[in-house]
Each structure stands twice: as C-alpha cells, then as structure tokens.
Amino acid sequence: MVPRLEKLPQPFCAWLITLSLHHPFEDFPDRHKVLELGALERTSFGNYLHTMHFFDRALEDFKTALARDGLLGTTMLVVFGDHDAGFTRDAFVAGTIGIADDEASWALNDRVPLFIRLPGSVIGLPHQFTRPAGQTDFAPTLLALVGIDPEPLPYVGRNLFGRPDDPPILRPYGDWLDASHLFMNQSNPRASACFDVAARGFTGAIACADADARARKARNVSRFVIVEDLQQRFR
C-alpha cells in the first residue's frame, strides 16, 4: 500500500482492511509460523495466535515503510477492531486467556483494540485510557486530533481527548458498560442483571436504571441514523 499512498495528494485518508484476522482460524501456513505453541498448535486458538503475530509483523513492516518513504512523520496511524475473534465461550478458552468462565467475566473482557500513533509528540495526552469507550467514539476523537472540533457535529459518540462524561457504552443485544456497571440484558426483562464492576458482583436493578435509560435513548438514535437516514437530515 505504501507506493500507492505516496501518489495520493496530501492530506489523504486511507482505510485498509486486514482480512487475515478473521475467524474461523481453521488453518495457518506452516511457512509463516514463528511462535512455539505446544498443545495449542493446530487448534483454532493456536491459529489465531499465529495470525495475530503475523499481523503484528505486517503492521511493523508497514510502519517502517511509511518512515522510509517520509510519510510516518506527518501521518496519524490508527488501528482498530470491529468485533471479537468469534471463539466459543467455554472453560478452555477462558482458562487460556486467564479469566473466569462466567457471563460477567466474558462481557468485561470482550473488547476490541484502538491504537492511535500520532506524528511527533503531543504534550498532555494520556498514553492509555482506562475509561470505557466504544466504536462511536472513534470518529469524533480522530477529528479532534487532526484539528476539527467535533462538538457541533451530530455524532452519537464523543471526543475521548476532550472532557467526556461517562455515558453507557452500547454493546450488542441491549447490554451496556460504563465505569461503574455492566448491564446484561436478558430475554426476560425482569431477569436483566446489573453488575457492579468495582465490587465484582451483581446488585439491584435500581443502580443501573438511569444509565439504562440513557443507553436506550442512544440505541434508538443510532437506529434512526441507520434505518431512517437521520444523519443526512441533520446535515
């Protein structure tokens, strides 16, 4: 891709999709294997680890090529995932990645990466976020980093480098997560569970009530954006 990027008028935006990192991870070429995986060798999880290592090397090669051709110094490089690896939630995988085999532990560890490499050094920016964030936060955050104020724009998410509050981060099927609670929506509304993240235990539904109302509203707005083209009407 680097030779193609060199030919683009600047500034440019390039979006690259890494198709090798996708389930079901049924196989991996022996000639590309570097890791010693022991009992995990030739398993789906082992192939996933080989594939992730392959991607890590490819990303490093890409970054090196950008630097060699003079693009890295003026480029914001962003790497993110769109969903989990697609493994069955069972005791074997839980033990392998070091978590308990229960719904709350799986939900809290079901995350996707977001890495941002900025050209040069930017004073005052944290190296790592610990607050929950979601994919709707990507666009306003990246716009802010290139000098465009996202505040007046109709985004569902928020700029993580601004002064963000702690909204519930929407997850599939009615679940959400904020800094204090994980809400797991069950098929029976009366069985919906409010999990206290700090106490590592379930608590009364009232503790999640206000944030759940915000989550429902945000989910409705998102549906209107997708189904009813609400974004175009705002523009």
The pLDDT score that the predictor gives to residue 95 is: 92
Please check whether residues 115 and 152 belong to one and the same domain. no
The pLDDT score that the predictor gives to residue 190 is: 56
The pLDDT score that the predictor gives to residue 156 is: 84
CA nearest to 166, candidates 132, 140, 194: 132
Please check whether residues 3 and 58 belong to one and the same domain. yes
The pLDDT score that the predictor gives to residue 48 is: 95
Please check whether residues 43 and 93 belong to one and the same domain. yes
The pLDDT score that the predictor gives to residue 232 is: 77
How many helices, marked H, and strands, marked E, lie in the chain? 7, 7
Average pLDDT of each block of 10 consecutive residues along the chain (235 residues)?
Answer: 94 90 91 95 94 95 95 93 87 92 90 88 68 90 92 87 84 89 76 87 93 93 84 73
Please check whether residues 89 and 188 belong to one and the same domain. no
The pLDDT score that the predictor gives to residue 84 is: 85
CA nearest to 192, candidates 210, 206, 179: 206
The pTM assigned to this predicted structure is 0.84
Please check whether residues 99 and 201 belong to one and the same domain. no
Q: What is the CATH number of the domain that holds 42?
A: 3.40.720.10
List the alpha helices (DSSP H) in the chain: 2-6, 44-68, 91-97, 103-109, 138-145, 209-227, 230-234
